[in-house]
Structure 1
Amino acid sequence: MENTVVSRVFGRLTKKESLDRYLDKDSLLEKSMDAKDLLLLGVGTVIGTGIFILPGTVAALYSGPGIVMSFVLAALVCATAAMCYAEFSSALPVAGSAYSYGNIVFGEFIGWVIGWALILEYMLSVAAVSTGWSAYLVSFLKGIGINVPKAITGSFDPAHGTYFNLFAILIVLAISLLLTQGVKTSTRINNVIVVAKIAIIILFVIVGMFYVKPSNWSPFAPYGSHGIMRGASLVFYAYLGFDCVSASAAEVKNPKKNMPIGIIGTLIICTLLYMAVAAVLTGMVSYTKLNVAAPVSFALQLVNQNWVAGIISIGALAGMFTMMLSMIYSSSRLIYSIGRDGLLPKGLGKINMKHQVPSHSLLTVTLVIAVMGGLVSLDRLTQLVNIGTLIAFTMMSLGVLPLRKRQDLENTGFKVPLYPYLPIISAGLCIWMLLQLPLDTWIVSGIWFAIGVVIYVTYGVRHSQLNQKA
């Protein structure tokens, strides 16, 4: 009797979703994105303010000029996971990214766990960046003589004179309003800003090249190979976000061709940009002087190029804007997908037919992120972004194995090379990165996942589309 109950529960948890049902539901979304749009979406997510900060601080503390190799190594680790995502998005062109992929290849419960991890990644990322964007804007305004009252520049902390972060709330609301106008409109604006951001990065590289002193690159690895490896583990997180590209699969023209280009192309372009900035920066200034808050601006000021430093500030604001736009877009599609399956209220899975966007899920995501960014101090929570991402990476790497064995899921597009070794290596690398995270991160994330299991058991199981079909 007990065996029967256990097998029934196990069978329920591992019951798999139908690709055809997902394709049918997602057909209401507008297919308007091409490879160029995906590349700019990906670059907009991955290249944020980190490109103006990480190369300097990590070089000063860990890698020296060898930071260039740290970025290469980190990119190789990410590339293994990126190829697994590319195969999934080619075989399963549906909304929801790793959540939907997990539902189809592992079953509903594993899919829910992955989705719950991604909710953590997406929403915390945007909330944290919104506060950074606000701080940067307040500093920029102060530089031109406009002083913003302290009370509206931070999280709710009356003891320190702050009550809410007005600019963090306003930027989230503005981006969400833009996204309600449809994918075509938001994509066009995102593309323009990303191109401007790339142009600013290239401007720094070109101007900086004239001030490079090759002697600053020696010694190349002052902390040895261990320092380069340590640097790689730190800059690894600079690449997180390329998985957002896969969230758009249901809104892409010819996804079998364009999704792999978008995912893998994002990684290649971002690696080249990171390497170029790192090489020029460490060539302009000795790595020993780069442990400062804004190393790129610091280097430009040392060579009396203050006008470029000012433009870099604009580039930083643009970088954070496009990152938030991509992540809010992706999180709304994730919540839409979970609502589509009944694991969260079904209203979240509805499509606004005028603009062909999931407006209910977008509104929900906006309110949660605005409250978090405007009222909550996120300093100690941002490491949770890493754990949510790496869990999704691990499951997608392992998921390629059952995906290939499914005869009902035909994939004539991209496939991971060196199968099955590369997906297993990718999973191993992600698990290694997970083990580097501190204990308190695991404890807090454990609480988050416990809440997720309670929601699944008390609400999700009873309202699930799969349960209703059973």
Structure 2
Amino acid sequence: MVRRKPIDQIEEEDHGGGLKRTLGLWQLTAIGIGGIIGAGIFALAGKVANQNAGPAVLASFLIAGVASAAAAFSYAEFAGLIPKAGSAYTYGYAVLGEFAGWFIGWDLLLEYTAIVAVVAIGISGYFGYLLGAVGINLPPWMMGAYDPTDPTNGHRVDVFAIILCLFIAFLLTRGIKAAARFETIVVGVKIALVLLVIVVGVFFINTGNYHPFFPHGFAGTMSGAAIVFFAVFGYDAMSTAAEESVDSRKHMPKAIIYSLAISMVLYVLACLVLTGMQYYTEINPNAGFSTAFKSVGLPGLGSIIAVGAIIGILTVLFTFMLGVTRVWYSMSRDRLLPKVFAKTSRKHRVPTLATWIVGIVSALIAGVVPIGEAAELTNIGILLAFFVVCIAVIVLRYKRPDLPRTFKLPGMPVVPAIGAIASIWLITYLQPLTWLRFAIWFVIGLIIYFAYSRKSSLLNPNSKHHAAEVPPPTVPDAE
């Protein structure tokens, strides 16, 4: 359970049959921004302002951002040191041992898949607004998952969210180069849209809407931070693409820091505009910015925002579906999961089978689970992953100071310790039901680990894979 993959021997494990290196610095940064900016602005900001924190949603984002920044520095150091797919799973495996790596990898399989579902639900809310604005009213049953807190809305299944999840799965099976090109273009559109919201919205701010700033006190602000933490990571999923970067040791740390810094500036400004334009109790939790501009007499801009939100949030779907498939690929390559999931297609060199399974499962979650419950489920897992990475970077810095690091996080060990403490602190503000769901997933993972993974692992000297492991085979593309 504590056997570790030797860092000195970690290579990229390509062998001509693995992942394909095509991503440069700005493509990586675009993937990071694509994962960070999306549902946080266009879906969760309005929901948290309306239901949890009021105007203090700004403080919620800042608190979550500080915790995320401390973890981002830890990820950046690891990304420059271990240029492998798998992100937190690989880092935990190399430093803390196999069981810690398994725990984080199994955790991320659920969390990233749930994130894809949450984001698809967030897009669906804007899709409904847009259809209503042009006079199209689809049957309520297909416009959202059943929500027991609002059973009168007629929602039963979110058809549009299901379609989106399957579309992104298809896009990722076409190859990382084509998919990354799509991601970069759409991220540019999304940033332009957020800047439009900020520049126009600032002229309609009523400072009276900021009072009271903390309507639900510090507890409401922290509860909001625990939810919007979902919106201030994404670079971790981007780091799973290390083996698809042309120079991951040099580019990955920069891309992590650039993407978080750009995103946090935009988040803060957008929250100021949203809560300044409307009193927090009047903000629409499903399509906050669109309805805010409609309330000040700019329904046309609200429709533009809805279109942009739908396009822009696609990048979040892309980033996290990419992340979960690369974690799954890495765990299967290490034989902690069946090796069939480490097979890559001959033409595009992507894990096609894993990608389609993630697409279908995330579509099912998006179709039947309300956004609030799905968002909390994602946060507990990511916060635990951040905790492990922050602890691991401290351990490795003092155990192996000799290792060549292209980036060294500042303030060791204070900065990663802040990240670890803040992650655990935010977890305590999540709902007990979220803990229960995560515990069930963890128990399932324990059964799989002790029944299969521990015995099949490449690091197990008694495993049939241990002596002479061949590179993952390729299979023809599924048409």
TM-score range, shorter chain: 0.7 to 0.9
Residues 83-122 of structure 1 correspond to what in structure 2 (within 5 A)?
83-122=73-112
Partner of 2:13: 24
CA 1:283–1:153: 2 relative to 1, 3 Å: closer
CA–CA distance in structure 2, aligned partners of residues 70 and 165 of structure 1: 28
Deviation of the 1:132 alpha carbon: 3.7
Q: Is the 8 A contact 2:126 2:286 kept in 1?
A: no
Residues 166-177 of structure 1 correspond to what in structure 2 (within 5 A)?
166-177=159-170
Residues 432-447 of structure 1 correspond to what in structure 2 (within 5 A)?
432-447=425-440
CA 1:214–1:321: 2 relative to 1, 3 Å: same
* Alignment counterpart, residue 339 of structure 1, candidates 332, 339, 342: 332
Q: Percent identity?
A: 39
TM-superposition CA deviations, 1:368-416 (whole Å, max 9, x none): 2233334666764442211111110000000012222454972331112
- DSSP-derived class of the 1:210 partner: helix
Partner of 1:50: 40
Partner of 2:352: 359
Q: Is the 8 A contact 2:35 2:316 kept in 1?
A: yes
TM-superposition CA deviations, 1:435-461 (whole Å, max 9, x none): 222222222211110100101111112
CA–CA distance in structure 1, aligned partners of residues 422 and 240 of structure 2: 23
Deviation of the 1:307 alpha carbon: 1.1
CA–CA distance in structure 1, aligned partners of residues 103 and 55 of structure 2: 40
Q: Which runs of 5+ in 2 are unaligned?
A: 468-479
Structure 2 residue 3 is the aligned partner of structure 1 residue 15: yes
Residues 69-468 of structure 1 correspond to what in structure 2 (within 5 A)?
69-149=59-139, 152-153=142-143, 165-214=158-207, 216-217=209-210, 231-287=224-280, 289-290=282-283, 293-374=286-367, 380-407=373-400, 410-467=403-460, 468=463
Two-structure CA RMSD over aligned residues (Å): 3.0
More deviation in 47-56 or 162-171?
Answer: 162-171
CA 1:354–1:52: 2 relative to 1, 3 Å: closer
More deviation in 361-370 or 136-145?
Answer: 136-145
Q: Matched residue pairs, number?
A: 457
Q: Is the 8 A contact 2:67 2:418 kept in 1?
A: no
CA–CA distance in structure 2, aligned partners of residues 443 and 313 of structure 1: 35
Q: Is the 8 A contact 2:39 2:119 kept in 1?
A: no
Q: Which letter does structure 2 place at the counterpart of 1:96?
A: G
Q: TM-score under structure 2 normalisation?
A: 0.86
CA–CA distance in structure 2, aligned partners of residues 365 and 302 of structure 1: 39
Deviation of the 1:14 alpha carbon: 0.8
Q: Which runs of 5+ in 1 are unaligned?
A: 1-12
CA 1:139–1:18: 2 relative to 1, 3 Å: same
Q: Is the 8 A contact 1:26 1:250 kept in 2?
A: no
CA 1:26–1:374: 2 relative to 1, 3 Å: farther
CA–CA distance in structure 1, aligned partners of residues 191 and 270 of structure 2: 11
CA–CA distance in structure 2, aligned partners of residues 88 and 67 of structure 1: 31
More deviation in 97-106 or 360-369?
Answer: 360-369
CA–CA distance in structure 2, aligned partners of residues 58 and 374 of structure 1: 22
Deviation of the 1:91 alpha carbon: 0.6
TM-superposition CA deviations, 1:237-264 (whole Å, max 9, x none): 3213231111111111222221122111
CA 1:232–1:163: 2 relative to 1, 3 Å: closer
**Greater helix content:** 1
